[in-house]
Amino acid sequence: MKAVVYHGQEDFRVDHVEDPKILEPTDAIVRTVRTAICGSDLHMWHAPTMEIQGFTVGHEVLGVVEDVGADVRHIKKGDRVLVSCTTGCGHCQMCQHDAWGACEKTTAHGMWTNIFGNPILPGGQAEGLRVPYADTNLYCVPEAIEDERALFLSDILPTGFMGADLAEIQIGDVVVIYGSGPVGVFAQRSAVLFGASAVIAVDLDDGRLAKAAARGCVTVNPTKQDLSEVVAGLTNGRGADSAIEAVGSAPLVTECINIVRPGGHVSVIGVITDDPVPISIMHGIMGKNITFRAGMVEPQKYIPRLLPMIEQGKLDPSEIITHRMPLDKAADGYRTFANHDEDVLKVVLEP
């Protein structure tokens, strides 16, 4: 089959690779119908070439089940399914405690190896993929929901929603969201669902801000406007109730801490690669009694809650799609997304 294969920095190619096979009785094979390029894929695109190469990338997938192992009970051949980007076994102590990202079985080979798109767990930017623990990591999509409205439940919609959830938004809150990329858009939509009275979208890209304004956000380009003045104006000077970091920038973590009021909430969902991040505990988090939370998404927690929201028309995640292209053109898609060309927000690939 065809697959987008990692060959090094800015070098992803569509190669012919071996078809996925059932390896464990709990596996399923999914034929990919739609897959997407994620901001976190760009971290690998930009990073210096790694020693290990030749694996299939991608972790945002919707497809149709082609085959299931003997122990798969709830998923069958022909089901149209969403694939959770992180995998859990569903049975270990961590999965039972809703800490899917730390599953004792699927992280046995190391941190992040439970996320599709690595040498241990080949990804879904391909004509098909093997999904371990299919009963836990696949979700049947109701007929009424089209492929492209369901696709982003695999990762970025739950990620954006988690940003709002961890920020503990209450009705009437004023929320600052750094980043108006795909995850930022879903954090904005989710903040409204949680009852925010004002959502302040902060970004450097005026095109993205114009779209955020059309979505009902107050918009701030910090190179042109003073964010703290805008926040003060909306909160009688007290500061934002919550701030969400959806960029993946270390300095923005401190900005989040500074922009919230005493007793406010900060949630970090952007993937920050320049770790460790220096932040003020004494004058920041402790001094202001801030609730500070960060996490890698566990779609299993949110997909069952978000599917009905899409079915009822409360969310239409397909709004972010700006580019569609055949899988063969994946490298062009990566380049366009990486260079911010053509007002790109989200690239969907069709095998």
**Minimum Å distance from CB 214 to Zn ion?**
24
**Minimum Å distance from CB 10 to Zn ion?**
19
Other beta carbons less than 10 A from residue 21's beta carbon: 9
Check if the beta carbon of residue 34 is closer than 8 Å to that of residue 127.
no
Nearer to Zn ion, 83 or 141 (CB): 83
Nearer to Zn ion, 22 or 92 (CB): 92
Nearer to Zn ion, 53 or 93 (CB): 93
**Minimum Å distance from CB 336 to Zn ion?**
17
Which string of DSSP letters, residue by residue, matches 258-316? HHEEEEEEEEE-S---S-S----IIIIIITTT-EEEE----HHHHHHHHHHHHHTTS--
**Minimum Å distance from CB 236 to Zn ion?**
38
Check if the beta carbon of residue 60 is closer than 8 Å to that of residue 85.
yes
Q: Cα 320 to the chain's mean position, in Å?
A: 13
From 36-44, 208-216, 249-257, 332-340, span contacting Zn ion (CB under 5 A) = 36-44
Nearer to Zn ion, 219 or 336 (CB): 336
Nearer to Zn ion, 261 or 301 (CB): 301
From 20-28, 32-40, 188-196, 197-205, span contacting Zn ion (CB under 5 A) = 32-40
**Minimum Å distance from CB 91 to Zn ion?**
6
Nearer to Zn ion, 95 or 167 (CB): 95
> Crossing angle of helices 182-193/206-214, nearest 10°?
20
Which string of DSSP letters, residue by residue, matches 53-99? ---B----EEEEEEEE-TT--S--TT-EEEE-SB---SSSHHHHTT-
Nearer to Zn ion, 44 or 92 (CB): 92
Smallest CA-to-CA distance from 18 within 37, 27, 28, 5 is with 5
Other beta carbons less than 10 A from residue 1's beta carbon: 17
Which of 28, 30, 38, 250 touches Zn ion by CB under 5 A? 38
For the chain, the farthest-separated pair of C-alpha atoms sits apart, in whole angstroms, at 62
**Minimum Å distance from CB 301 to Zn ion?**
13
- Contact string (CB under 5 A) for Zn ion, positions 65-104, x = contact: -----------------------xx--x--x-------x-
Name residues whose C-beta falls within 8 Å of residue 180's C-beta, 6 or more positions apart in sequence: 188, 201, 202, 203, 205, 208, 209, 211, 212, 217, 219
Binders of Zn ion among 137-166, rule CB under 5 A? 155
Binders of Zn ion among 231-270, rule CB under 5 A? none
Residue count, binding to Zn ion (CB under 5 A): 8
**Minimum Å distance from CB 220 to Zn ion?**
26
Nearer to Zn ion, 5 or 89 (CB): 89
**Minimum Å distance from CB 26 to Zn ion?**
11
Q: Which residues bind Zn ion (CB under 5 A)?
A: 38, 88-89, 92, 95, 103, 105, 155
